Amino acid sequence: MLQILLFVFYIWGIYLRFAEAEIKLVDAEKCLVWGAGIKPDVSVLPARYFFIMAIDKNGQRYLESAPLNFQVKIKGNSPHGRCRSHVDVIDRGDGTNIVRYTTADWCDQVEIEIRYNGTQVAQSPYYVRNKVYSEKCYCPQDLQLFMLHNNCPNAAADKQIMWDLHSFKRVNFSAIRENLMKRYNQPESVSLCHYVVKQQQIWRQCYGKYTGFKMFMDSTLLALSRVALLPDMEFYLNLGDWPLSKKGGQQRTSGPYPIFSWCGSEDSYDITLPTYDLTESSVENMGRVALDMLSVQRNEHPWELKEDKAFWRGRDSRRERLDLIDLSRKYPELINASITNFFFFRDEEQKYGPTVPYVSFMEFFKYKYQLNIDGTVASYRFPYLLAGDSLVFKQDSPYYEHFYSKLQPYKHYVPFKRNLSDLIEKVQWAREHEKKVREIIHNAREFVEANLLPQHIYCYHLALFKEWSNRLVAPVVVMPGMEKVQTSYTCFCKEPQIKDEL
């Protein structure tokens, strides 16, 4: 009798599981698909991408991964036969997927086919009217048209751009160039490059002892020039960590001088660009970089399996990072932190070491809480932490990246004091308020989707450069001694109309 009852309960359990699965079945036609990657003929990026949201039979969105994977194919014709493409589907673990793909050279009669369990999803297949060119092709659109196709806001809509440029309403490099170089041509302590963009050609002259980082701006300008007609312009780029155009001091009588930097600060006039790291991850998306703002959203560590601790790894580039080691030793149940390399405080390695091996960035997200502490300047890992499925604690800081002004504390991240004095309290708060924590994580991901994906990085550069060029009052001239940055294309949608002599 007991065996019969157990068998009945077993069968009933199976029935309930199937009944629940029936309710939660994905309805392919009701799923949502959106994003510029559906129109790859007008939105040209290194990797096109779009989003899929799983919807069940009752019209409700999934809040976890769909039971099966979405299947995506790029069909079409190319110079080599069938269109050559590479597709990557990123499951974000919240019912949404990012689909990114690349094509080689150009493809014609393109169809984007999305299926779930054999059934076409939403309006699939999506037919693309015009030829689709690889981002490696030379196909620059009119600048305003590119911005329109990619929903790029104008500079006036971005408060960081307008704030950075408010001291530079009219810039005459003919009048200030000599004094600017006297001020910043300090080879032992300052490295910078003077860039000129004229008729789609890029020229530069660099100064200083360490100019290797010019490769990042070279690749940025080349990538932008392949997809949009750049305005004629010139600017000086700081290749170092610290902002250069400091407020006060000599600036009162001889400045401020316009310097583009990858990091801004409260005590400088530097004009902030997206960091070289974030920009390279956009330009090389699905290329040579291992980490980017799309791949970091892959759900490898479900929330329920994450450790209930704050996590940090990094080098010893700021005293507070050593203070964090002290905290982690005092509160090991709350913080897991270690130094991976000693450089700035080598004489204290015995106290704060030993060093630990490098940890893959995706492994950070085995932990529910991530700590963002400044390095020499702002910590450039912050965008990637916001994109991951963990709560970010951010140290108060005078340094900022181009997007910080759009963030709100306790909406997108949890702040803590610069001296770490309230960090333990904040971590304890998070452990006791999981609902609020999950809400902040959700908001952070929405912020990333609206501000920090490759499309937005291209848009920010172009909006800033467009506005900057309008403020230059002297003719843009290629200066003696400048070196031309060599271009490379895999194909052309039209022959470049570029003069050899400028």
Q: Could you read off the pLDDT of 261-299 as tens digits, one per residue?
A: 999 999 999 999 999 999 999 999 999 888 999 999 999
pTM for the model stands at: 0.92
Mean pLDDT of 381-390: 97
User: What was the pLDDT predicted at 380?
Assistant: 96
Phi, psi of 199, rounded to the nearest 5 degrees: 50, 45
Residue tagged 């390695």 (tokens): 349
Which CATH architecture group holds 32-134? Sandwich (2.60)
Nearest to 171 by CA among 459, 467, 401: 467
> Where in the chain are all domains bearing CATH 2.60.40.10?
32-134
User: What was the pLDDT predicted at 2?
Assistant: 42
CB contact at 8 A, 334 and 422 = no
Confidence at 491, pLDDT banded by 50, 70, 90: confident
User: What was the pLDDT predicted at 17?
Assistant: 44
Alpha-carbon gap, residue 385 to 389, rounded angstroms: 8
CB contact at 8 A, 271 and 292 = no
Q: Could you read off the pLDDT of 13-40 as tens digits, one per residue?
A: 444 444 444 446 999 999 999 999 999 9
Q: Could you read off the pLDDT of 328-380 as tens digits, one per residue?
A: 999 999 999 999 999 999 999 999 999 999 999 999 999 999 999 999 999 99
Alpha-carbon gap, residue 65 to 435, rounded angstroms: 19
Q: What is the DSSP letter of 291?
A: -
Nearest to 257 by CA among 247, 272, 266, 267: 247
User: What was the pLDDT predicted at 14?
Assistant: 42
Domain 300-452 has CATH 3.40.50.2000: yes
> Where in the chain are all domains bearing CATH 3.40.50.2000?
300-452
User: What was the pLDDT predicted at 496?
Assistant: 52
User: What was the pLDDT predicted at 105?
Assistant: 86
CB contact at 8 A, 28 and 52 = no
CB contact at 8 A, 367 and 336 = yes
Look at residue 370 and give its three-state secondary structure: strand
Residue 433: HSE in the Cβ half-sphere, 13 Å Cα cutoff: 14
The full DSSP string for 195-239 is EEEETTEEEEEEESS--TTHHHHHHHHHHHHHHB-PPPEEEEEE-
